Structure 1
Amino acid sequence: MVRSRASTEAQRGDVPQLLFDLVGGSLFPVSATVRLDRVRAAVAEFAVTGRRSSCLSWQPARLV
């Protein structure tokens, strides 16, 4: 089984739980979290290319 960095960080408690639905209390999956340094790199890449960043692992949206 291959574990993502996000799931490993979540097990250590490094990833906060983020609410998806305030009324129902659903949470975003841990795999949807992105470190701030990766966000900065993605924004910088988008500013140059105008396209979705290739430095992030994108996943399909799913309704929780």
Structure 2
Amino acid sequence: MSLILEFWYYAGSNRADEPVLVKPEAALDRVLADVLEQGPQPHPTQVASPELPTFGILNFPDRMFKLDLDPESAIGALHYTGPDEYDEPGRFWSWASVSNEEFADTPVLYIDKQNRTLFPPKSAISLDTITMALEEFRQTGTRPTCIEWQSTGGIA
């Protein structure tokens, strides 16, 4: 399996109202480089796949990432929302990345900038680690296992 990924972010005249599609592996690196090049985003970048299930009358993705990425340091964090494979069907959960990496100066990273929701401590990971996790998601359609996660709460 190799899923198409949709990246929703601000770039030039695109005000995150049209996704940037990622198909081949090289395109993932290119899109992440473009997110960095665009500078600080007004809202975290959202990443989902149009090939995975949706829910509700608005057909929201049933699993997706929020990605906040600091353009100066190329350090970021991932927030994943989706079904919990270890819980009853129909229950959704959310997790933030956990870092095993040491950074001299970790930037402030947000799950949601509008209501100022910060990522939990120890969520910052390198661009290489973010790329690895998103590539695993593209191959499996499930929460990546190549990084550790910390719970940020359940969604009924």
Question: What TM-score, normalized by structure 2, do the two folds share?
Answer: 0.29
Partner of 1:16: 107
CA RMSD of superposed structures (Å) = 2.6
Higher strand share: 2
Per-residue CA shift, 1:14-59, capped at 9, x if unaligned? Answer: x112256768866433311121111111111111111110111100
Q: Which has the higher helix share?
A: 1
The code of the aligned residue for 2:131 comes to R
TM-score, normalising length: structure 1: 0.59
Structure 2: unaligned runs, 5 residues or longer = 1-98
Choose 1 or 2 for highest CA Rg. Answer: 2
Number of corresponding residues:
55
Match runs of 1:30-41 below 5 Å: 30-41=121-132
Q: Which runs of 5+ in 1 are unaligned?
A: none
Alignment of 1:1-64 (within 5 A): 5-6=100-101, 8-9=102-103, 12-13=104-105, 15-19=106-110, 27-61=118-152
Percent same amino acid at aligned positions? Answer: 33
Counterpart Cα distance in 1 of 2:113 and 2:129: 26
